Structure 1
Amino acid sequence: MNFFERQEQSRRTTRWLVVLFVAAVLAVAAAVNAVVCFVLSLGEANRTGYSPTLGEWMTAHPGTVLLTTLAVVGIIALASLYKTVVLGGGGGVVARSLGGVRVSPDTTDPQQRRLLNVVEEMAIASGLPMPEVYLLEQETGINAFAAGHNPANAAIGVTRGTLTTLNRAELQGVIAHEFSHILNGDMRLNIRLMGLLFGLLVIALIGRTVLRLSSGGRDSKKAMPVLLVALAVMVVGYIGLFFGRLIQAAVSRSRESLADASAVQFTRDPTGLRGALVKIGAVSGGSRIGNPEVEEVAHMLFAPGMSRFFATHPALEDRLKALDPRFDPKEFERARAEMARLAEQKKADAVPKQTSAERLEGLINVPGAGASASVAALVGNPSTLHMQVARDIRKSLPDAIVIASRHPHSARVLLLALALDTNPESRDRQRQFIGQQIGAQTADDVAELLSWVDALEPEQRMPALLGAIPALRQLTRDERMQLLSTLNGMLQREGRVSLQSYVLRKLAQVHLNDDLNPAARARQLPLSAVQKDIQVLFSVLAQHGHTDAAASRRAYEAGVHHLLPRERPSFVNLAHWAQPLDLALSRLDRLAPIMKEQLVEALVKTVTHDQKLTLGEAELLRAICATVHCPLPPLVTSAIDT
């Protein structure tokens, strides 16, 4: 199952969740109706001496039934909406609710530094923004989680036990597992589960609260109907929550198994993830988290955070046997003995020396006939080689760029510097505009950082931008809105537009929008509705990759005919293409995941039509794919099927 199929599966699961949740809400509403109507019918029988059946009473009082139904459905819906809005602040909200503290980008603690390095390498290798990283300092169990609505506002949290117990390879396996949740669309699913279950829980809490308040009254006979209704509502609410937890557990177990498999595919080394799971079984605390909020986020964790009836994860031994069929449970004892032997040598694991991946210089070998499908298969599926390249890129970034990416205001300066056009006249206009919008000091800081930005290699520019995303999230909402407005305005002050700088700017806008509106989801568009957008994107890409018109047309046709074999819209030479392309990319992002797979394949056919792929073209392809939420790892020669 590739990235696009996993995304489609996540969407189907979400639709089924909505259906099951609606059924649960209606069942709860029906049960509450039955209780309310039964109590009211008893009261009427006492007054009149006639005892109608429950069905007769409900038929005779449709207004009461309707009012009760609307009240129950309204309470559940509002509670779910409230919880979803609260969680709209991103993964950091979930991390802080568990007692997590954000790991400073400037930390000198060896274990925290190792954690940040591993997360940053994973982000570079997968083509995603660097998530915020949180440490659950008081938790000694081995556990981790990824939370958020989308990659732009994601956060990864790890316990102190994870840092002190796992070596680098094991930590990398755990982080790869969490990144697979980010890539597979599981985070949004988890947030929705939290919102839906909270709505069911509120019904039970209302019943319990009314029961507690009413039981203290003096006139117990008058309070008895209220007590009965409150008790019944509480029981019904908890029964609804019971079935909600069953749904949660079933969904979570399947996604956890997929995440384990994806993590192994990510690292190409099952020993790291295997070692982490063995240590969970070996240590006394296992994966336990003591925070009382853990029940709510149990389905997000790397391993079960508490002993519970509803298992949100496959059994530990089952997970280990899936990774290694020869696994023997006696390994828990051996690992326990080995960890006891090393207990006195508690030193932070040093980052092992890695052989750097081959520098990405000059031309990347052009894949053969299966190139487009081979590259599309890399979306959301980075390999060990990509991890090596990511580590190489991380180490090669200039200190000035790294330091700038770590703090909110300097990260804003870095993003603006990366977004400037290469044309000197356009740059001057853009810098003046930055001064007008944000301030003269910011414009001066951008000018000062430009020498470092201009010196970046093509493969360093996108990681530099994505690495600044966590710091940009620390800006106030107004500051982020101002930054987004400035990026939009810069486009209108360009003369000749560089496609490379345009795409980086577009990518920054996409992630800022995702962060500002995490729950927003536009209606999907069919391929037939985006033919004009395909024409614009492929025309612009083809004319920027070739010097003569004939070659541009051939490159255009190679991609478009793969995507639209029947319609075949004609090539157009766009002099002012930036704004049409802006609209086209936004609309193409609304394609279904399976259609995006075909889009990526077609883009590869256009870019490689001349039988060569420069590093600049490869990075341009990655940036374009990222703007439509199809993250490609660095395109190294040996990572593509030749």
Structure 2
Amino acid sequence: MNFFERQEASRRMSRWLVVLFAAAVLSVVAAVNFVVCFAISLGQENMTGEAPAMGEWMSANPGTMMITTLVVLGIIGLASLYKTVVLGGGGGVVAKSLGGVRVSPDTTDPQQRRLLNVVEEMAIASGVPMPEVYLLEHEEGINAFAAGHNPANAAIGVTRGTLTTLNRTELQGVIAHEFSHILNGDMRLNIRLMGLLFGLLAIAMIGRIVLRFGSGGRDSKKAFPVVLVALAVLIIGYIGLFFGRLIQAAVSRSRESLADASAVQFTRDPTGLRGALLKIGALSGGSRIGNPEVEEVAHMLFAPGMGRFFATHPSLEDRLKAIDPTFTSKDFDRARAELINAAEQAKAQATPKQTSAERLESLINVPGAAAVAGLVANPGTVHMQLARDIRQSLPEAIVAAGAHPNSARALLLALALDTNTESRERQGQFIATQIEPQTAASVGQLLDAVDGLEPEQRMPALLRAIPALRQLSRDERLKLMSTLNGMLQREGRVSLQAYVLRKLAQVHLNDDLNPVARTRQLPLSAVQKDIQVLFSVLAQHGHTDVAVARRAYEAGVHHLLPRERPSFVNLAHWAQPLDLALSRLDQLAPIMKEQLVEALVKTVTHDQKLTLGEAELLRAVCATVHCPLPPLVTPGIDG
């Protein structure tokens, strides 16, 4: 199953979630109506000595049933809305609710430094922004989670036990598992699930409160009706809780199995994930999390955080057998013995040191269109090793600038500047008037470092700064987006590479500012004009010969629109039309995006050459429509 199929599966699962939630709500409403009917009929029997049949009473009192139904729906709806609004702050809200503390980019703790490096390498290899990283300092079990609405406001949390118990390979397996949730669309599903289930859990909470206070009366005869109602509400609350846990389990188990498979596919090394799962089974604490809020996030965790009747994860044995068919339960004993004996078998699996120049070639073998589309959100071992090289090759000035909010803002603006000197001066003046002169000065100080970046370093430099940018206030981020738009509108001629980085920054900033925004899915027939603009711009970029550009355009567009397709246009002022085109193409269904990526490859590689600059441009364009590609490397490079 590739990225686009996984995205479509997530959408189907989301629709099923709504159906299951509606069924749970209807069950609770029906149960409450039954209790109300029973209680009132019982009261009438005490007063008159004769109780009407429930069916007759309900048909004779539709208003009471309607009020009861509206009250229950109101409680569930308001509780779900409240939780959804609270979770609108992104994955960091979930991490903090479990006692997580954000890991500082400046940390000197070796274990935290290793964690940040692994997360950053995975982000570079995946082509998505680096998520915020949180540490659950007081949790000794081995566990982790990814939370958020989209990659731009995602957070990854790990327990202290994960850092102290796992080696780097095992940690990488766990982080790869969590990144698969980020890439597969599971996070939005999980956040939505938390919001909906809180509405059902609210009934159980009310049931407990009513029972606690309703059973305190001294007069047992007078208190009996109150206790009866309290007990009934509690039972109904647990009906909601039952359905909530059932939904959690049904949604989580299938996505966890998929995440395990994706993690192995990402790293091409099953030993890391296998080792982490073995250590969970070998330790007495396993993956347990002590925080009382763990129930709400049980479906998000890497491994079960608590014992429960409806399991949110496949059993450790089943997960291990899926990774390693030779697994037996004796492997837990061997792992336990190794941990008890503290036989530190830290085998440095470091590969020979290679420079970025040795690994990143200036000319890449032309890949097949389907092969590139298959790489979307599917980085492999070679990409992970390449990501480590890229991370280590970033200049210190760029690394330092991306670690803090104000300097990260200056770095983003520096990356978005045009290469033309006169345009830069105008853009710098615009930045000074829109934000502040000090920011414009900081941008100027970073220009030498930014201009010295290789093509393969520019996207990682931008994406690793996203967590720091999230620390800016909402008004500051809105002002930053407005400044980026203004920079685009002030220039007639724009470098395509600078434009795409600017657009990519806007996409991720907007994802963070509007994490729960819903977009409709457009068919290909509705975006023909947008396809014409995007492919015309790509075709004319790098081809001074109009005839050659037209052939490159036809090579890609024919793949999307084989019968009736718009003709090639030579656009002099393409930036604003392209901005609108990319925004609309982002609304294609996942399966249509797969065809879009394949068509883009056909246009870019029409001349049977793919330079590193063209490859990075292709990656940036794909990222703007939420199809993150790993770095494209020569297939012959030994990972």
Give per-residue Cα distances to partners, 1:382-418, cap 9 Å, x unaligned: 0000011101110110000000001111000000100
* 2:589 matches 1:592: yes
SS of match in other structure, 1:381: coil
- The answer (yes or no) to whether the contact 1:405–1:471 under 8 Å persists in 2 is yes
SS of residue matched to 2:584: helix
Read off the aligned partner of 2:255 and give its amino acid letter.
Answer: R
Q: Match for 1:499: what amino acid?
A: L
Tell me the residue number matched to 1:564.
561
1:611 aligns with: 608
Quote how far apart the aligned CAs of 1:210 are.
Answer: 2.2
Give the corresponding residue for 1:44: 44
- TM superposition shift of 1:218: 5.1
> How many Å apart are 1:221 and its aligned residue?
4.3
Separation in 1 of the partners of 2:345 and 2:510?
Answer: 44
In the other structure, the counterpart of 1:161 is: 161
Matches within 5 A, 1:83-482: 83-217=83-217, 221-342=221-342, 352=350, 355-356=353-354, 358-367=358-367, 371-482=368-479
Contact 1:425 1:495 in 2 (8 A): no
Aligned match of 2:573: 576
SS in 1 for 2:146: strand
The one-letter code of the counterpart of 2:87 is L
Secondary structure of 1:540's match?
A: helix
Q: Distance in 1 between matches of 2:436 and 2:486?
A: 15
Equivalent-residue separation in structure 2 for 1:223 and 1:143 (angstroms): 46
Query: How far off is 1:511 after superposition?
Result: 0.4
Instruction: Give 1:217 deviation, angstroms.
Output: 3.9
Give the superposition deviation at 1:351: 8.8
Q: Structure 1 pair 265/98, CA: closer, same or farther in 2 (3 Å)?
A: same
> Amino acid of the residue matched to residue 477 of structure 2?
R
Taking only the aligned residue pairs, the percentage that are identical comes to 83
Q: Give the distance between the partners of 1:523 and 1:464, measured in 2 at CA.
A: 31
SS at match of 1:638: coil
SS at match of 1:145: strand
C-alpha RMSD over aligned residues: 1.7
Match of 1:518 in 2: 515
Deviation, structure 1 residue 48: 4.2
| Residue identity matched to 2:599 | A
String of CA shifts for 1:551-601, please: whole Å, max 9, x gaps: 111111111110011121111122211111111111111111000000000
AA matched with 2:174: V
- Structure 1 residues 276 and 165, CA gap change in structure 2 (3 angstroms): same
Q: How far did 1:49 drift?
A: 4.4
Contact 1:249 1:312 in 2 (8 A): yes
Q: CA deviation at 1:291?
A: 0.9
Structure 2 unmatched runs, 5+: none
Other structure's SS at 1:456 match = coil
Deviations 1:259-278 (A, max 9, x none): 11101100001011111111
Please give the secondary structure, in 2, of the residue aligned with 1:531: helix
SS in 2 for 1:156: strand
**How much does 1:207 deviate?**
2.2
Distance 2:212 2:326 in 1: 55
Residue 377 of structure 1 aligns to a residue whose secondary structure is helix
For each residue in 1:199-252, what CA deviation from the matched residue of structure 2 results, as whole angstroms up to 9, or x when unmatched? 001011112212322333455545543432232122111112112211211221
Change (3 A) 1:203 1:639: farther
Partner Cα separation in structure 1 for residue 527 and residue 609 of structure 2: 28
Partners of 1:129 and 1:467 within 8 A in 2 = yes
User: How far apart are 1:15 and its partner, in Å?
Assistant: 0.1
Q: Which secondary structure state, in structure 1, belongs to the residue aligned with residue 133 of structure 2?
A: strand
Distance in 1, Cα, partners of 2:174 & 2:475: 35
TM-score of the aligned structures, taking structure 1 as reference length: 0.96
Give, in whole Å, the separation in 2 of the partners of 1:249 and 1:504. Answer: 40
Shift in Å, 1:353 = 5.2
Deviation at 1:292, TM superposition (A): 1.0
Contact 2:401 2:407 in 1 (8 A): yes
Tell me if structure 1 keeps the 8 A contact 2:95–2:155. yes
Q: Would the aligned equivalents of 1:426 and 1:495 in 2 still touch at CA under 8 Å?
A: no
Cα distance in structure 2, aligned partners of 1:351 and 1:469: 31
Contact kept? 2:111, 2:164, Cα under 8 Å: yes
TM-score (norm 2): 0.97
- Are 1:385 and 1:639, in contact at CA under 8 Å, matched by a contact in 2? no
Q: Distance in 2 between matches of 1:346 and 1:206?
A: 53
Tell me, what secondary structure is at the counterpart of 1:146?
A: strand
- In the alignment, residue 147 of structure 1 is paired with which amino acid? A
**Aligned AA for 1:44?**
Q
Q: Secondary structure at the match of 2:297?
A: helix
For 1:235 and 1:506, how far apart are their aligned partners in 2?
53
The 1-side partners of 2:214 and 2:19 are apart by: 35
Quote the Cα distance in structure 2 between the aligned partners of 1:213 and 1:547: 81
SS of residue in 2 equivalent to 1:130: coil
The separation in 2 between residues aligned to 1:599 and 1:53, in whole angstroms, is 63
Q: Distance in 2 between matches of 1:425 and 1:567?
A: 42
Q: Distance in 2 between matches of 1:365 and 1:257?
A: 34
Q: Which residue of 1 aligns with 2:504?
A: 507
Is the CA contact (8 Å cut-off) linking 1:90 and 1:149 kept in structure 2? yes
Matched residue, 2:76? 76
State the shift of 1:505 in Å: 0.5
Distance 1:67 1:127, change over 3 A: same
Aligned partners of 2:311 and 2:48: how far apart in 1? 51
Query: Following TM superposition, by how much is the alpha carbon of 1:355 offset from its aligned partner in structure 2, in angstroms?
Result: 4.0
